[in-house]
């Protein structure tokens, strides 16, 4: 993290130093990877932090050793009782199938470029760009993952760079080219700074 942060400062020191002066160094928050880590991200989508924690608690209690075969063997009613919606069940089963059949190798993702890992994850049905990038950032600690579709990150960039309008994913991706190969660290800095400015916003609550 320290090495990637110095690389980031070399590419855009004035901006990064200004933001860090207000919010402090960004935390390196990491979760377990693999199927369990990706499942956590999917389950956490579009629900409150409290709801996500409750669902995860029920999943952990019902499946303490969550892996592909166990998840694929679970019926709809069992997963529904854990709090999963039908679309999330479908996505989790697609992830489990990909892991079981070797369509995705979670171990190799850590050795891949951000683009390669992103492509491998988004090839799984139901796993979108945001989910893939959040996995790279918070499960693998990838220094160059860039979730351009994250609304909080877009708004943080607008405020930090003094833009008139919030950049969309395409424009934000272009802006972030200046921060390669440490775009993931830039995202953490922007989230941390935005959280201070908005007092409660910022980094995804995973």
147-180 per-position pLDDT tens digit: 999 999 999 999 999 999 999 999 999 999 999 9
The CATH number given to whatever domain includes residue 6 is 1.10.1670.40
**How does DSSP assign 15-75, residue by residue?**
HHHHHHHHH-SPP------HHHHHHHHHHHTTS-HHHHHHHHHHHHHH-TT--HHHHHH--
44 and 21 in a single domain? The answer is: no
The CATH number given to whatever domain includes residue 116 is 1.10.340.30
Q: Which domain holds residue 98?
A: 34-138
Q: To which residue do tokens 């999943």 refer?
A: 59
d(C-alpha 66, C-alpha 38), whole Å:
12
Task: Specify the number of domains making up the chain.
Answer: 2
48-88 per-position pLDDT tens digit: 888 989 999 999 999 988 889 999 999 999 999 999 999 99
Q: pLDDT at position 123, please?
A: 96
Lowest mean pLDDT among 43-57, 79-93, 121-135: 43-57
133 and 55 in a single domain? The answer is: yes
109 and 49 in a single domain? The answer is: yes
23 and 99 in a single domain? The answer is: no
């Amino acid at each position: 993290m320290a090495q990637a942060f110095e690389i980031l400062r070399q590419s855009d020191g004035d901006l990064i130093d200004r933001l860090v002066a207000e919010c402090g160094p960004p935390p390196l928050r990491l979760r377990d990877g693999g199927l369990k880590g990706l499942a956590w991200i999917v389950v956490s989508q579009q629900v409150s932090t409290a709801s996500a924690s409750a669902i995860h608690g029920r999943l952990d209690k019902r499946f303490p050793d969550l892996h592909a075969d166990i998840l694929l063997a679970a019926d709809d009613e069992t997963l529904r009782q854990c709090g999963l919606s039908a679309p999330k069940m479908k996505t989790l089963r697609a992830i489990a199938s990909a892991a079981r059949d070797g369509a995705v190798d979670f171990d190799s993702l850590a050795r891949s470029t951000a683009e390669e890992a992103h492509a491998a994850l988004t090839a799984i049905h139901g796993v979108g760009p945001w989910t893939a990038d959040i996995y790279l950032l918070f499960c693998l600690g990838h220094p160059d993952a860039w979730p351009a579709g994250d609304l909080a990150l877009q708004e943080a960039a607008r405020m930090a760079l003094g833009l008139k309008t919030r950049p969309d994913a395409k424009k934000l991706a272009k802006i972030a080219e200046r921060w390669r190969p440490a775009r993931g660290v830039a995202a953490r800095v922007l989230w941390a700074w935005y959280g201070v400015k908005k007092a409660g916003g910022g980094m995804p609550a995973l």
